[in-house]
Structure 1
Amino acid sequence: MRGRHQVNLESLNLFVLAAKLGSISKAANEMNIALAAASRRIKNLEEYYGARLFDRTGRGVEATSAGRVLLDHAHHVFRRLDIATRDLVDYASGLIGTVKLHACTSAIAQFLPEDLSRFAATYPDTRVDLREAYTGNIVSLIREGLADVGIVMAGTITDGLDTVPYKEDRLAIVAPSNFREGIDRMQFADLHDESFVVLEDNASMTRLLQSVATTTGMPLQIRAQVDSFDGVCRMVQSGFGIGILPVVAARNLAYSLGLRLIDLDETWALRKFAICTNPHFPATLAMRRIVEFLGQKNKFTDNL
């Protein structure tokens, strides 16, 4: 490394922000510093590392190959600082640490409340910050280090992440009480004339149904889309069609609304969940605790 300047966190943060925004002036404005001072900080970084970090374009700046390497290391630096800050704040309040846990809707609706209750009883000094998100978004958050631990649908592309089996569920048809009376088990092809109430396009459930419909050549007639299991059941009750939901999550809703659940006789109706973490970021004690607790106590034997 050449140059007499030293790297400081403010300059490194400026560099990361400029790379994200594609503009040094926008980064300077967001950090409330003068453009000239921001440009000087970037120049000092380039002198320190002996490499050009940005290419100037008509639209702003783009990180060079060297800049992308520094960006990767900078993300690790700020990730470590974030963990250190959280852990020290937690220690001051008598906690070991906090876990940022992001989970898909199906896991939260069925398993996590009870499991996290048992976890809290076992580790009262560990706090869990639980957020609900779509599986695809969870994987992105784990990759970027914005979430510590994720619970996603198994089968999701998680290349480069560590995964541990979690639980499994089964899907069922949610229908009005008078739908196909006397029939307790059906295949997806039996529903070819029906209208469906489904979740939003980003939901793993909807993507699964669309994939199955494409594979089988059966048109998926979507009449309504909603953002929750409760919404699916209420729209079914109102006569908009039928839905397909996890049995455990839908059972109480269906009962309270006078709906019936019909077994879905398909191999893909049995779904598995996985716990995922990013091995490129350091794991805290709190993270290791929750992954081990949820993974070992709920592990199923089948491979993902």
Structure 2
Amino acid sequence: MRFDFFDIQLLQHIVTTGSLTKGAERSAISLQAASERIKKLEQYFDTPLFIRHSTGVELTSAGHALAEHARLLLVQKQQLEQDMQRFRQQVPESLTLWCNSSAQSEYLPTLLPQYLMHHPEINIDLHEAESSDIVAALTKGIAKLGLVSSFFDTQHLQTQEFASDPLVLICPAAHALQHSEQLNLLDALNYGFIGLMPHHSLQQSIETQAKLLGFNIQYRLRLPNFSAIAEVVDQGVGIAIMPARAAQRLQADYHFHTVQLRGAWANRKLLLATQDFNQLSLNYQQFAEFLLQHRPLSE
């Protein structure tokens, strides 16, 4: 064809305004360019489309017929573009989830692949941080969504319980505590501990509980993660405290005895937290809903 949708749209602008000059202005082209395009249309159909007057233009019978077809073509063009929009590749949106080490290592690896498989338009950025830092970031609006320990004050945030995340004590198979099924922290404070690094919020909370009982924890060694701690406990060097889910996972590789800890401080929860769930963007709301629907509360 010797004309395109630009010519069709130009024709509509001229019909709407009743003027070749105003139609050219709406199409953002010069009067001369508009006149040339209309002339080519008339040559293509071999018939006049407009009657020129000093005050404007008037459609001929052929012009009326073409204008009606032009209107339908433009409507169909718009419908076509809208229908094809859903097939266009979209730039994936990245959602950032702040989480503490327990959530990052013990819960999210099994959940996030499920979400990503059903949402190819979404990427997830995990930002691991201490629970205290996550609470601060949520409060300041730096973070939108986070998984934090219930040990910290979140009363100024909106929270939903995500998982039961109790702490347990692990000890070597030949340790004096090996026959214990439950104990208070006080019963363990005379023994040497294998702990996490000093900046770790979990270790800080354990130290806080010890100080409330009048003790300073005796550390034989500090290590960066639960796997390293389990390996050293297995070798008989000392005892340690870690999340029950981590202990359960690591018992497949290391030999140690697990003891339940009494006290509300040890029976902590993982909370999904934000300033206001209703104020989150739609994608964040859907992601939060997925996490809560798949929360391992019974574990």
Instruction: Say whether the fold is shared (TM-score over 0.5).
Output: yes
Q: Does 1:134 align with 2:130?
A: yes
Which has the larger displacement, 207-216 or 121-130? 121-130
State the one-letter code of the partner of 2:226: F
Deviations 1:129-174 (A, max 9, x none): 1122111222233334443311111242335433222111221111
Change (3 A) 1:151 1:280: closer
1:125 aligns with 121
2:283, 2:240 → 1: CA distance? 38
State the one-letter code of the partner of 1:242: I
Change (3 A) 1:252 1:273: closer
1:139, 1:168 → 2: CA distance? 19
1:26 aligns with none
Q: What is the aligned counterpart of 2:112 among 116, 126, 135?
A: 116
2:244, 2:191 → 1: CA distance? 20
2:67 aligns with none
Q: What is the aligned counterpart of 1:97 among 88, 93, 99?
A: 93
Q: Is the 8 A contact 1:171 1:246 kept in 2?
A: yes
Change (3 A) 1:116 1:268: same
Q: Which residues in structure 2 correspond to 1:8-87 (within 5 Å)?
A: none
1:289 aligns with 286
Deviations 1:107-132 (A, max 9, x none): 12221122223322443332211122
1:159, 1:109 → 2: CA distance? 26
Q: What is the aligned counterpart of 1:257 among 254, 259, 265?
A: 254
> What secondary structure, in the 3-state scheme, does the structure 1 residue paired with 2:246 have?
helix
> What secondary structure, in the 3-state scheme, does the structure 2 residue paired with 1:257 have?
coil
Shift in Å at residue 233 of structure 1? 1.5
Q: Is the 8 A contact 1:105 1:132 kept in 2?
A: yes
1:185, 1:132 → 2: CA distance? 31
State the one-letter code of the partner of 2:197: E
Q: What is the aligned counterpart of 1:151 among 132, 138, 147?
A: 147
Structure number with bigger Rg: 2
1:175 aligns with 171
Q: Does 1:214 align with 2:206?
A: no
2:277, 2:264 → 1: CA distance? 35
1:186 aligns with 183
> What secondary structure, in the 3-state scheme, does the structure 2 residue paired with 1:244 have?
strand
Q: Is the 8 A contact 2:186 2:210 kept in 1?
A: no
Q: Which residues in structure 2 correspond to 1:265-304 (within 5 Å)?
A: 265-279=262-276, 283-298=280-295
Q: Is the 8 A contact 2:174 2:236 kept in 1?
A: no
1:246, 1:280 → 2: CA distance? 27
Q: Is the 8 A contact 2:151 2:268 kept in 1?
A: no
Deviations 1:45-102 (A, max 9, x none): xxxxxxxxxxxxxxxxxxxxxxxxxxxxxxxxxxxxxxxxxxxxxx975366221111
2:194 aligns with 197
Shift in Å at residue 230 of structure 1? 1.4
Shift in Å at residue 196 of structure 1? 0.9
Which has the larger displacement, 197-206 or 273-282? 273-282
1:122, 1:92 → 2: CA distance? 18
Q: Is the 8 A contact 1:254 1:261 kept in 2?
A: no
Change (3 A) 1:260 1:93: farther
Normalising by the residue count of structure 2, what TM-score does the alignment of the two structures yield?
0.62
1:165 aligns with 161
Q: What is the aligned counterpart of 1:234 among 226, 231, 235?
A: 231
1:22 aligns with none
Normalising by the residue count of structure 1, what TM-score does the alignment of the two structures yield?
0.61
CA root-mean-square deviation = 2.8
1:92, 1:238 → 2: CA distance? 57
Change (3 A) 1:150 1:93: farther
State the one-letter code of the partner of 2:179: G
> What secondary structure, in the 3-state scheme, does the structure 1 residue paired with 2:166 have?
strand
